[in-house]
Amino acid sequence: MIVVYEIPCWYMRGGTSKGPFFLASDLPADTTLRDAVILQVMGSPDTRQIDGLGGATSLTSKVGVLSLPTDAAADLDFLFGQVGIDEASVDTTPNCGNMLAAALPAAIEAGLLRADEGHTTRRVRTVNTGVIAEITIDTPARKPLYDGDAHIDGVPRPAAPVRCGFLDTEGSVSGSLLPTGNVRDSIDGVDVTLIDNGMPVMIIAAEAVGISGYESRDELNANQALKARIEKLRLVAGPLMNLGDVTKKPIPKITLVARARAGGALCTRTFIPHDCHAAIGVLGAVTVATAAVLPGSVAYDAAETSAGDTRTLSIEHPSGEFSVEVGMEGDRVVRAALLRTARLLMRGTVPVSPDTWRGPGA
């Protein structure tokens, strides 16, 4: 008799990303076997991901794995996986602030956590890097609310707000805010800022690589010469940022900056890393906002920001803007807060082949 393994699954949109969430207890404990199961669920490797739940873009080829912490530092542990589309890879190195926004409602949907009446605030740790965020969602009748009036660019309909507050995100993957010790470096004659305040990012002035920084996403994705040039810079930046060989890694991201055109602080075009993002990632936006208030950085040169201990920076991107509130102590960003939305798209089970579950040689 052939046994088909049915895994409970909550398919969520978080910010401008989406993907299935699983309980760690429902997946194989062995990492290699777990990744094989995730790849089959998502339909990778295949450029269309036609045989799985993946959406054939980097923003829709993501998974979350939830568990209860073994310490008191957090209320929920969230492991993020960036799933390769045309290659068999599940990268658990980086953070993802968009999928993080869906982690708390997913955990409540799954019965892993109980909600409070009215509003629920919990500390959620991204296991990938140890970053802890305080997440607040609306929970009338102790259930996650998804309909509401909060709007974020890159999502067509409004929804209930997900409030995210970040502390101690410096050096999330690279080990320090400025892994080279410099606010500005030069790679192949191009000035760059290599920075990590929740997401490792290489920041470059758009004009330094021959573009305005206001091009559409489609224009930039079609510009093969530009993509080849910035990838060459990224491969050099990887070891400088303590990330090693990044040939097959999604980090560091690349953000091209220019002066704002719609009243914001800064205009951005972000590659993640080989295709232009439709918007900008959550922790990528936090990192770029941090650079924008850091004197001497490439982003600082192009930014227009206010003064004060608390500043709201509107980061412009191809589909609108992303507002980040930063708390300052001198020139240092010590906290960041932002708004996302999330929605449950589907709940159920996903079947996995017994051959995949048992693993090779079983």
40 shares a domain with 156: yes
Q: Would you state the pLDDT for residue 218?
A: 96
306 in any annotated domain = yes
pLDDT digit string, tens, across residues 4-46: 789 999 999 999 999 999 999 999 999 999 999 999 999 999 9
Half-sphere exposure (CA, 13 Å, Cβ side) for 272?
27
d(CA 240, CA 238): 5
Residues spanned by the domain of 224? 185-330
Residue 208 is assigned to a structural domain of this protein:
yes
In a domain, 87, yes or no: yes
Same domain, 287 and 348: no
Confidence grade of residue 362 (pLDDT, cut at 50, 70, 90): very low
163 and 253 inside one domain: no
Token code pair at residue 145: 């609310």
In a domain, 285, yes or no: yes
Note the pTM of the prediction, 2 decimals.
Answer: 0.82
What mean pLDDT, rounded, does the chain reach? 95
Instruction: Find out whether 13 and 102 touch, Cβ atoms under 8 Å.
Output: yes
d(CA 93, CA 106): 21
Nearest partner of 119 among 160, 167, 153, 69, judged by Cα: 160
Q: Is the pLDDT of residue 2 over 80?
A: no
Mean pLDDT of 339-354: 96
Q: Are residues 162 and 207 in the same domain?
A: no
Distance separating alpha carbons of residues 116 and 322, to the nearest angstrom: 29
Q: Is there a single domain that holds both residue 305 and residue 189?
A: yes
Could you tell me if 37 and 112 lie in one domain?
Answer: yes
Helix (H) or strand (E) holding 37: helix 31-42
Q: Tell me the longest C-alpha to C-alpha distance in the chain.
A: 69
Q: What is the DSSP letter of 93?
A: S
Same domain, 208 and 278: yes
pLDDT at res. 204: 98
Domain shared by 143 and 57, yes or no: yes
Q: Is the pLDDT of residue 361 over 90?
A: no
> What CATH number did the domain enclosing 264 receive?
3.10.310.10
Q: Would 293 be classed as within a structural domain?
A: yes
Helix (H) or strand (E) holding 350: strand 332-352
Does the residue 179 lie in any domain? no
Same domain, 160 and 290: no
Q: Is residue 173 part of a domain?
A: no
- Kindly state whether residues 237 and 140 are assigned to the same domain: no
Both 112 and 204 in a single domain?
no
One domain for residues 124 and 209? no
* Structural domain contains residue 129: yes
**Predicted local confidence at residue 353, as pLDDT:** 92
Q: Write out pLDDT tens, residues 153-191.
A: 989 999 999 999 998 899 999 999 999 999 999 999 999
Q: How many domains does the chain have?
A: 2
